[in-house]
Chains A and B, each alone.
Chain A
């Protein structure tokens, strides 16, 4: 992209830092919009997919097959009254959804869409993602605290318990990938997967993938781990007091988090933007491959939501601590040992 701008812009600008910053801003703009539209339409896709799984149709009224539903929802929420409960901790109540959304959006900085399209090519990509995605939980906990409602308070507590039980398993499940790739940079990880069977770490890191997938479900508060917002227990959990646009921000954050975790899974375990290299497939642009993998993953998310009942609070913590952590530790040791044996 930089090269392209150099040809069309006057040399004064082309050789100054402004150009770099301009390119970054354009990239940021594209990525943020991509994420927002994805987040919006994911709500539609979710309703449609789950609807068809449940012998119903999902949204049908706004536009053909309800295709304009997210826009209608957005407009409705935009013009909806913003109710701030009495005795709420106002500043915290205000910033909590912004924290959630910012954490979700900022994580996209290190996601490579293809080889040349990444906002920030930093060498600790995975660490950055883990750090920021757990920051998103702060938004939830603060929202639960600030609302001055018992239901949201319990939702916030549950959310923090969930973070406690899943963050470690998630972090450890990616150590195996880093071991194999020898890097925490997502670009390097994709490149390192070329020599693997089918060009994916999935087949050499099945345990890691399994634990990562489960932890990703918990991280994004999706069924069967949607305890902080369990609608039949805590009604809506942490955002029970939120209405209008603030509510929409939480929603967007949740869906963007889902997209993000799917990107991470596709990049770390499914070979990123690399597709099969024969016949017609080699002509498909890399970004399409990546998106196919991401959406397949998202479909899985929705499928699970339509199928499984919800875990209980203590069972979830038990699962995280007593099953996933030993599994990932064993995975790390085995991966390290096998790699050592193969290379020497």
Chain B
């Protein structure tokens, strides 16, 4: 009998999900060990999109790093710009004009909407609801068109600058944006009619990838992935930057910490972002959009062409970086759409950072995948990859 059983012994199937797989949102690789279709072991491998952004930054002036940060989480590039600029401004002790703060808040929330829409689209597509994908992309396109009007770029915007933003908003742009915010809540309802009350959607998302509040904190989760477990932690509330403390909004949280609650959280965040943008448009003050700190910020073009002092500043800033940078180190975080995006910068007084470390939410979130997937089926692995909302550009850096 024992001999027969030995002959009938089954082995687990080791399968590699990614890097070239439609549902891994880039080049994440998961090596799954399957018993039947149940996952018994799950190992995430990252690094397929490693470009050495942190090391590269040590060889660039503070200003030159901004376009590199675009390439972190390329879906919400402006959040990265702002996160980096906020950190550098803290380091240099630059006061940003209020108008620039408001513009940053508006554009950061726009990227949040764009990022969450892309998340919703791909998450729904992974679970088989194809139509939501195209509906969400319709609105994302709208946002991206607005970005194009604002700064000429659609995806990698590089719009924020140390000490403010690149340019003031064009004429009529705020009105266009306001029209968008008028229409957008209806569109959110449209997505929700497709999936929110759908029984199959419930079956696929409720009770999947459950993580308790305590565990979520211990894993270092942040952003909507953490708030889905019921922890109301949001950098925008706890360490306000830009204009977030001047407007009213709420932090939506979930209860059960499953895929469905995280989905609800993000949907509510879409509404809150919309609300923030509307308030900002109403409250935005007049004034300059760049700080008056000639040692650190680029002077306006007309001054450069007419005034020798500004020309010298421009020359030094472009060729060597801000030479009078204070020596020290700084950690500063913002609430990127994916979670807490932190920049740790060490300055040695030269025009280039001595060391830059990026705390990427996607990297932390990718590490929690085995915890979420083990014991579930392959189909749930897909749902879990979707729910933690990772972007490999940011994860691998």
Spell out A's residues near B (CB within 8 Å): 50, 53-56, 150-151, 153-154, 157-158, 223-224, 226, 230-235, 305-315
| B126 close to A (CB within 8 Å) | yes
Q: Report if B125 contacts A (CB, 8 A).
A: yes
- Give the distance to chain B from A49, nearest Cβ to Cβ, in Å: 12
Q: Which of A50, A150, A224, A310 contacts B15 (CB 8 A)?
A: A150
Whole-angstrom distance between the alpha carbons of A223 and B198 in the complex?
Answer: 14
Closest residue of chain B to A314, judged by CB? B377
Say whether A309 contacts B134, CB under 8 Å.
no
Q: CB distance A309 to B200 under 8 Å?
A: yes
Q: Residue-by-residue, is B177-209 near A (CB-CB < 8 Å gives 1, otherwise 0)? A: 000000000000000001100101101100000
Note all chain B residues with C-beta closer than 8 A to A230: 128, 379
Question: Could you tell me if B127 and A310 are in contact, using CB atoms closer than 8 angstroms?
Answer: yes
Q: Is there an interface contact between B194 and A226, defined as CB atoms closer than 8 Å?
A: no
- Interface contact B22-A232, CB-CB below 8 Å: yes
Contact call A224/B200, Cβ cutoff below 8 A: yes
Inter-chain contact A54/B128, CB cutoff 8 Å? no
Instruction: Point out which of A50, A55, A223, A307 has the most chain B C-beta atoms below 10 A from its C-beta.
Output: A307
Interface string of B356-378 (1 = CB under 8 A from A): 00000000000000000000011
Rounded to whole angstroms, the CA-CA distance of A244 and B243 in the bound complex is 57
Question: Complex: how many Å from CA A198 to CA B160?
Answer: 68
For chain B, the count of residues having a C-beta within 8 Å of the partner chain is 31
Residue B108 at the chain A interface, CB threshold 8 Å: no
Q: A50-B130, A53-B131, A315-B203 are in contact. Are A309 and B195 (CB under 8 A)?
A: yes
Cβ–Cβ < 8 Å partners of A233 in chain B? 23, 378-379, 382
Q: 4 nearest interchain CB pairs?
A: A310-B128, A54-B134, A309-B129, A232-B23
Contact A55 B125 (CB under 8 A): no
Q: List residues of chain A with CB within 8 A of the CB of B73.
A: none
Mark out the residues of chain B between 16 and 65 whose CB falls within 8 Å of any chain A CB in the assembled complex.
Answer: 21-23, 34, 37
Q: Shortest beta-carbon distance, B11 to chain A, in Å?
A: 12
B124 vs chain A, min Cβ distance (A) = 7
- Find out whether the CB atom of B198 lies under 8 angstroms from the CB atom of A308: yes
B380 within 8 A of A: yes
Known contacts A231-B22, A309-B127, A312-B379; 19 additional CB pairs below 8 A are A50-B130, A55-B138, A153-B13, A154-B13, A224-B128, A226-B128, A232-B23, A232-B125, A232-B126, A232-B128, A232-B382, A307-B194, A308-B129, A309-B124, A309-B195, A309-B200, A310-B127, A310-B379, A315-B203
Quick one: given A55-B134, A56-B134, are A154 and B127 in contact (CB under 8 Å)?
no
Give the residue of B37, B127, B131, B201 whose beta carbon is less than 8 angstroms from that of A313.
B37
Residues of A contacting B331 with CB < 8 Å?
none
Question: Which among B37, B131, B138, B200 is the interface contact of A310 at CB below 8 angstroms?
Answer: B200
Residue of B nearest to A157 (CB): B37
B349 to chain A minimum Cβ distance, whole angstroms, is 51
**CA of A280 to CA of B380 in the docked complex: distance in angstroms?**
54
Q: What B residues does A231 contact at CB under 8 A? A: 22
Contact A312 B21 (CB under 8 A): no
| B354 adjacent to chain A (CB < 8 Å) | no
Residues of chain B within 8 A of A150, CB atoms compared: 13, 15
> How far, in angstroms, from A289 to B103 measured CA to CA in the complex?
62
Q: Are B200 and A235 in contact (CB under 8 A)?
A: no
A223 touches B128 (CB 8 A): yes
Q: What per-residue 1/0 map shows which CB atoms of B117-149 lie under 8 Å from chain A?
A: 000000011111111011100100000000000
Given known A150-B13, A232-B22, contact A312–B134 (CB-CB < 8 A): no
Nearest B residue to A54 via CB reads B134
Interface SS of chain B: helix, strand, loop or mixed?
A: helix
- In the complex where A312-B204, A313-B377 touch, is A305 in contact with B23 (Cβ < 8 A)? no
Chain A residues whose CB sits within 8 angstroms of the CB of B380 once the complex forms: 312
Given contacts A306-B130, A309-B124, contact A55 B203 (CB under 8 A): no
Bound-state Cα–Cα, A55 to B131, Å: 9
- For the complex formed, measure the closest distance between the CB of A334 and the CB atoms of chain B, giving whole angstroms: 25
B382 neighbours in A (Cβ, 8 Å): 232-233
Q: Which of B37, B138, B204 contacts A309 (CB 8 A)?
A: B204
**Contact present for B15 and A312 (CB under 8 Å):** no
A310 to B23, CA, bound (A): 14
- What is the CB-to-nearest-CB distance from B101 to chain A, in angstroms, rounded to a whole number? 36
Neighbouring A residues of B126 by C-beta, 8 Å: 232
Nearest-Cβ distance from residue B377 to partner chain A, whole angstroms: 6
Taking a contact as CB atoms closer than 8 A, the residue among A56, A153, A154, A311 that contacts B200 in the complex is: A311
| Cα of A344 to Cα of B127 in the assembled complex, Å | 52
Kindly list chain B residues whose C-beta atoms are within 8 Å of the C-beta of A234: 378
Could you tell me if B378 and A154 are in contact, using CB atoms closer than 8 angstroms?
yes
Inter-chain contacts of A314 with B (CB < 8 A): 377
Q: Is the CB of B377 within 8 A of A309?
A: no
Q: Nearest CB to that of A161 among chain B residues?
A: B37
CA distance A79 to B378 in the complex (A): 35
Contact between B377 and A312, CB atoms less than 8 A apart: yes
Give A270 Cβ to nearest chain B Cβ, in Å.
26
Whether A309 pairs with B131 at a CB distance below 8 angstroms is no
- Chain A nearest CB from B9 CB (Å) reads 18
10 contacts between A and B (CB under 8 A): A54-B131, A55-B138, A153-B13, A306-B130, A308-B129, A309-B124, A310-B128, A310-B129, A311-B200, A312-B379
Bound Cα distance from A133 to B68, whole angstroms: 56
Nearest B residue to A51 via CB reads B134
- Across the interface, which residues of B come within 8 angstroms of A309, CB to CB? 124, 127-129, 195, 198, 200-201, 204
List chain B residues, Cβ under 8 A from A313.
37, 377-379
A344 to chain B, nearest CB (A): 41
Instruction: Specify which of B130, B377, B380 lies most central, judged by the most chain A CB atoms within 10 Å of its CB.
Output: B130
CB of A312 within 8 A of CB of B130, answer no
Instruction: Say how far A222's CB is from chain B's closest CB, in angstroms.
Output: 11
CB of B120, distance to nearest CB on chain A (Å)? 13
Interface string of B248-286 (1 = CB under 8 A from A): 000000000000000000000000000000000000000
Give bound CA distance, A30 to B209, whole Å: 53
Residue of B nearest to A305 (CB): B130
Bound-state CA distance A157–B36 (Å) is 9
CB distance from B49 to the nearest CB of A (A): 20
Question: Which residues from A are CB-within-8-Å of B198?
Answer: 308-309
Chain B: CB-nearest residue to A149: B15
Residues of A close to B377: CB separation below 8 A: 312-314
User: How distant is B390 from chain A, measured CB to nearest CB, in Å?
Assistant: 16
